[in-house]
Amino acid sequence: MPNKIYRPHFSTTSDARVVRTREALRKAMLDLLSTKPFEQITIRELAADAGIGYTTFFRHHPTKESLLEEIATEEIRQLIDYTLVTFNASDTDTASLALCQYVDQHRTLWSTLLTGGAASALRDEFVRVAQEVAAHTPEQSDWLPAEFGVILVASSTIELLAWWLRQDDPMPLEKIAEIYRRAVLGPVFTLQENAAEA
């Protein structure tokens, strides 16, 4: 059975050949996602696109869902980095636009992650990673715990992006960046400012 040769330690190895293969698989998944829904992608297609043998795929991932989850975790961390920048930035206009540009540049992947069958699991993973990051984030307020502030902004970020990506005729990213700044970041910053003045 293919699963018997799956090597979970490959996800953390520094072996150059393994790293190249995993990167080729990641690129293959992203390339195929730009042309068809995730459900229609086969492991044979992924292996062929990555330039590896079919059985080699299973040395790295037990399923195609596992590969997508690995990509999702990497993307979530990138998105959280952007979210934290907007949360702490003095120029929230520029930071909000950068976050929306990042998602727009990876629209096919994020559409799959946020609007597909794995959307609920992705939200849970996003909050989990946000909590992990927040645990190492300095407190920015005397009254709003950093952990809750990050989770509040991260959760709202996910909901806004999911809504945007579901639209048949999506708004320009500049408009979404404005909504993000005013509807997601605005209330948190306003609460912080009001507490500071009290």
- 123 vs 55, higher pLDDT: 55
- 185 vs 129, higher pLDDT: 185
- 149 vs 2, higher pLDDT: 149
pLDDT of residue 137: 64
Look up the pTM and report it.
Answer: 0.68
- 131 vs 10, higher pLDDT: 131
Task: Reply yes or no on whether the pLDDT at 5 is more than 60.
Answer: no
Confidence of residue 9 (pLDDT cuts 50, 70, 90): very low
Alpha helices in the chain (DSSP H): 16-33, 43-50, 54-57, 64-88, 92-105, 107-115, 119-134, 146-166, 173-179, 186-197
The amino acid sitting at 35 is: T
CB count in 10 Å sphere of residue 29: 24
- Looking at mean pLDDT, say which of 43-47, 88-92, 134-138, 191-195 comes out highest: 43-47
pLDDT of residue 80: 77
**Which tokens belong to 118?**
């794995």
- 136 vs 30, higher pLDDT: 30
Task: Reply yes or no on whether the pLDDT at 116 is more than 60.
Answer: yes
Rounded CA separation 79/75 (Å): 6
pLDDT of residue 6: 37
Confidence of residue 160 (pLDDT cuts 50, 70, 90): very high
φ, ψ at 145 (rounded to 5°): -60, 140
Model confidence over 15-46: pLDDT tens digits?
888 889 999 999 999 888 878 888 899 999 99
Whether residue 123 contacts residue 131, with contact meaning beta carbons closer than 8 Å, is answered with no
